[in-house]
């Protein structure tokens, strides 16, 4: 007789299988893939643990589980979606999967925007899926955002995400290498989570990273080249009093702080991620020179 698999059976079996195959978050991944295969929200799995799942429904799930283990494809790419700042973003292999750490940068941006009472102009350099631009625009109705990326394919995904959250009319998308094609020069706030790894960093990261675009991760031999470029040009694009807020890699904060100070930025502040690491630095353009 064939076994009658319930939701709970499938979750338990898959969690163990993922554990045995060194998947970092085995239960969460099993839940996300099963919810996706059944076309339900994750919470509904908990309310239907005893529900039997038919062979046909199990087939898609089995395929996803197999790809997760054998090819190490990240869950967000398998299901085409990732939650960031409590909003769902479309994800493809053309964009970086937004990380929870980057929510620190959203908080810093929102706090700065809170201090401005009028309409504000924000620039997001290297928008990827549009995570930062969409999250910020969704929280503050008085901001207009310019979102740039060197990758046209990434910009197409970001634009779709802006439409998904009814924010298309407040985000302008510009294909640009760094600040090159950004014509407007008077932003109140520049946010960026640029690539900040070098190829040695990449080798020690989880195998899933190989499925994300290299252009979203790598920034030259040091890993800090794009950050340095942004820091040395950003002042020309900020209003006096404007804020530059950068996400950076572990161990890069001191170096970036020196560059910011050399460029005349003031009021430098480090912001820590959940693990207590200094991952965001904010600074102000105080003078016009
Ligand atoms: C680390 S990802 C960040 C994506 C998104 N902002 C996020 O936080 O999830 C960096 C992004 O910068 C883009 N990028 C890489 N080099 C760039 C450059 N020279 N100028 C503009 N964008 C660049 C990549 O295509 C990628 O989308």
Residue 3: is its pLDDT beyond 90? Answer: no
98 CA: nearest ligand 1 atom: 9
User: What's the confidence (pLDDT) of residue 185?
Assistant: 80
What are the start-end ranges of the E strands in 134-273? 143-149, 171-175, 187-192, 238-247, 266-272
Q: What atom of ligand 1 comes closest to residue 154's alpha carbon?
A: 27
Pairing of strands 81-84, 87-90: antiparallel
The pLDDT, as a whole number, for residue 57 is 86
| DSSP string across 100-155 | GGGHHHHHHHHHHHHT--S-EEEEEES-TTTHHHHHHHHH-TTEEEEEEES-HHHH
Q: Supply the DSSP symbol for 195.
A: -
Ligand 1 centroid to Cα of residue 9, in Å, is: 41
Distance between Cα 264 and ligand 1 center (Å): 25
Ligand 1 centroid from CA 61, angstroms: 32
What's the mean pLDDT when you consider all of the chain?
Answer: 96
- The best mutation among 82, 96, 230 to test binding of ligand 1, ranked by most ligand atoms within 8 Å of the C-beta, falls on 96
Tokens 């869950």 sit on residue: 75
pTM (two decimals)? 0.96
> What pLDDT does residue 128 have?
98
Banded pLDDT at 2 (limits 50, 70, 90): low
Strand-pair partners of 189 = 122, 243
Q: What is the mean pLDDT of residues 136-143?
A: 96
For residue 83, pLDDT over 80 is answered with: yes
Q: In which band, very low, low, confident or very high, does the pLDDT at 99 lie, cut at 50, 70 and 90?
A: very high
Q: Report the helix count and the strand count for the chain, using DSSP H and E.
A: 11, 9
Going by the DSSP 8-state scheme, the letter that residue 197 receives in this structure is B
Q: What is the pLDDT of residues 43-70, one digit of tens each?
A: 999 999 999 998 988 999 999 999 999 9
Token output for 236: 């020309």
Beta pairing class for 238-247 and 171-175? unpaired
Q: Across residues 28-39, what is the average pLDDT?
A: 97
Pocket-forming residues, ligand 1, beta carbon under 6 Å: 96, 98, 102, 125-129, 131-132, 148-151, 154, 176-178, 193-195, 215-216, 226
What tens digit of pLDDT does each residue of 147-182 get? 999 999 999 999 999 999 999 999 999 999 999 999
- pLDDT computed for residue 110 by the predictor: 97
Q: Residue 23 class from Cβ within 10 Å (0-12 exposed, 13-18 middle, 19+ buried)?
A: buried
The pLDDT of residue 71 is above 60: yes
When pLDDT is averaged across residues 217-246 and rounded to a whole number, the result is: 96
DSSP state of 129: T
Centroid of chain to Cα 108: 15
Judge whether residue 1 has pLDDT over 60: no
Is residue 245 pLDDT above 90, yes or no?
yes
The rounded Å distance from CA 215 to ligand 1 centre is 7
């Amino acid at each position: 007789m064939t076994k009658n698999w319930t939701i709970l059976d499938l979750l338990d079996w898959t969690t163990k299988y993922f554990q045995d195959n060194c998947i970092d978050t085995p239960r969460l991944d099993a839940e996300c893939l099963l919810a996706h295969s059944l076309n339900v929200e994750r919470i509904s799995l908990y309310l239907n643990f005893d529900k039997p799942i038919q062979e046909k429904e199990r087939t898609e799930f089995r395929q996803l589980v197999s790809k997760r283990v054998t090819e190490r494809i990240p869950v967000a790419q398998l299901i085409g979606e990732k939650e960031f700042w409590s909003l769902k973003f479309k994800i493809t292999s053309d964009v970086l999967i937004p990380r929870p750490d980057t929510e620190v940068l959203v908080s810093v941006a929102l706090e700065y925007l809170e201090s401005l009472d009028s309409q504000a102009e924000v620039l997001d350099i290297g928008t990827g899926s549009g995570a930062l631009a969409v999250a910020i625009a969704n929280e503050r109705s008085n901001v207009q955002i310019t979102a740039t990326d060197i990758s046209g394919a990434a910009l197409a995904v970001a634009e779709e995400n802006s439409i998904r959250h009814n924010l298309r009319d407040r985000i302008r998308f510009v294909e640009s290498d760094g600040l090159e094609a950004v014509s407007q020069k008077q932003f109140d706030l520049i946010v960026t989570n640029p690539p900040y790894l070098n190829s040695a960093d990449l080798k020690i990261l989880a195998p899933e990273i190989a499925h994300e675009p290299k252009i979203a991760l790598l920034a030259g031999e040091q890993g800090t080249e794009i950050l340095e470029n942004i820091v040395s040009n950003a002042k020309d694009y900020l209003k006096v009093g404007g804020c530059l807020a950068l996400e950076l890699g572990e161990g890069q904060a001191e170096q970036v702080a020196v560059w910011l100070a050399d460029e005349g930025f003031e009021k430098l502040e480090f912001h820590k991620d959940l693990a207590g690491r200094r991952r965001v630095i904010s600074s102000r353009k105080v003078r016009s020179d």
